[in-house]
Amino acid sequence: MARGSRTGRRKRPSQGAAQSLAKVQGFALDMEELLNEIENLAQALRFIGYGLESHDHDFGSPISALAWTALQRLSELKTIWNSMIKASAGA
Protein backbone atom coordinates (compact mmCIF):
# COMPACT_ATOMS: atom_id res chain seq x y z
CA MET A 1 0.00 0.00 0.00
CA ALA A 2 1.23 3.42 -0.91
CA ARG A 3 1.37 6.00 1.81
CA GLY A 4 -0.22 9.38 1.27
CA SER A 5 1.89 12.45 0.86
CA ARG A 6 2.67 14.52 3.90
CA THR A 7 1.89 17.78 2.18
CA GLY A 8 -1.82 17.38 2.90
CA ARG A 9 -1.33 17.10 6.67
CA ARG A 10 -1.65 20.09 8.91
CA LYS A 11 1.14 20.79 11.30
CA ARG A 12 0.26 21.69 14.83
CA PRO A 13 1.61 25.13 15.61
CA SER A 14 4.51 24.91 18.00
CA GLN A 15 4.13 26.55 21.35
CA GLY A 16 6.39 29.54 21.86
CA ALA A 17 9.02 29.63 24.57
CA ALA A 18 7.18 32.40 26.43
CA GLN A 19 3.95 30.38 26.45
CA SER A 20 5.76 27.30 27.73
CA LEU A 21 7.45 29.30 30.46
CA ALA A 22 4.15 30.87 31.52
CA LYS A 23 2.56 27.44 31.71
CA VAL A 24 5.37 26.06 33.88
CA GLN A 25 5.20 29.12 36.14
CA GLY A 26 1.45 28.60 36.52
CA PHE A 27 1.94 24.98 37.53
CA ALA A 28 4.66 25.96 40.01
CA LEU A 29 2.47 28.61 41.61
CA ASP A 30 -0.38 26.11 41.91
CA MET A 31 2.00 23.84 43.83
CA GLU A 32 2.81 26.48 46.46
CA GLU A 33 -0.50 26.22 48.30
CA LEU A 34 -0.27 22.43 48.42
CA LEU A 35 3.31 22.51 49.68
CA ASN A 36 2.34 24.88 52.48
CA GLU A 37 -0.66 22.74 53.41
CA ILE A 38 1.42 19.57 53.51
CA GLU A 39 4.03 21.32 55.64
CA ASN A 40 1.32 22.36 58.12
CA LEU A 41 -0.05 18.81 58.27
CA ALA A 42 3.42 17.36 58.91
CA GLN A 43 4.01 19.96 61.63
CA ALA A 44 0.70 18.97 63.28
CA LEU A 45 1.73 15.31 63.13
CA ARG A 46 5.02 16.22 64.76
CA PHE A 47 3.20 17.98 67.62
CA ILE A 48 0.93 14.95 68.04
CA GLY A 49 4.03 12.78 68.32
CA TYR A 50 5.52 15.08 70.95
CA GLY A 51 2.26 14.96 72.92
CA LEU A 52 2.23 11.18 72.83
CA GLU A 53 5.90 11.10 73.84
CA SER A 54 5.10 13.11 76.94
CA HIS A 55 2.60 10.43 78.02
CA ASP A 56 4.11 7.26 76.59
CA HIS A 57 7.55 7.39 75.01
CA ASP A 58 7.11 4.19 72.98
CA PHE A 59 4.23 5.45 70.85
CA GLY A 60 5.09 9.09 70.27
CA SER A 61 8.73 8.85 69.27
CA PRO A 62 8.20 7.13 65.88
CA ILE A 63 5.45 9.58 64.97
CA SER A 64 7.50 12.67 65.74
CA ALA A 65 10.56 11.15 64.00
CA LEU A 66 8.52 10.41 60.87
CA ALA A 67 7.05 13.91 60.88
CA TRP A 68 10.51 15.45 61.34
CA THR A 69 11.82 13.48 58.35
CA ALA A 70 8.84 14.59 56.27
CA LEU A 71 9.46 18.21 57.23
CA GLN A 72 13.12 17.95 56.25
CA ARG A 73 12.18 16.52 52.83
CA LEU A 74 9.56 19.23 52.37
CA SER A 75 12.17 21.86 53.18
CA GLU A 76 14.42 20.45 50.45
CA LEU A 77 11.49 20.43 48.02
CA LYS A 78 10.64 24.05 48.83
CA THR A 79 14.27 25.03 48.21
CA ILE A 80 14.11 23.43 44.76
CA TRP A 81 10.71 25.03 44.15
CA ASN A 82 12.04 28.50 45.07
CA SER A 83 15.03 27.99 42.75
CA MET A 84 12.68 27.00 39.94
CA ILE A 85 10.55 30.13 40.45
CA LYS A 86 13.63 32.38 40.53
CA ALA A 87 15.07 30.75 37.42
CA SER A 88 11.82 31.11 35.50
CA ALA A 89 11.46 34.75 36.54
CA GLY A 90 14.95 35.50 35.27
CA ALA A 91 14.43 33.71 31.97
pLDDT at residue 26, as a whole number: 81
pLDDT at residue 60, as a whole number: 86
pLDDT at residue 73, as a whole number: 92
Whole-angstrom distance, CA of residue 51 vs CA of residue 83: 35
pLDDT at residue 72, as a whole number: 93
Whole-angstrom distance, CA of residue 54 vs CA of residue 61: 9
The full DSSP string for 15-62 is: PPHHHHHHHHHHHHHHHHHHHHHHHHHHHHHHHHHHHHHHH-HHHHHH
Residue 11 is assigned to a structural domain of this protein:
no
Residue 48: which domain range?
39-91
- pLDDT tens per residue across all 91 residues of the chain: 556 555 666 665 556 777 777 887 787 778 888 888 999 999 999 999 888 888 877 788 888 889 999 999 999 988 988 888 888 777 5
Residue 10 is assigned to a structural domain of this protein:
no
pLDDT at residue 21, as a whole number: 78
Total number of domains in the chain: 1
Residue 41 has φ and ψ, to the nearest 5°, of: -65, -40
Residue 75 is assigned to a structural domain of this protein:
yes
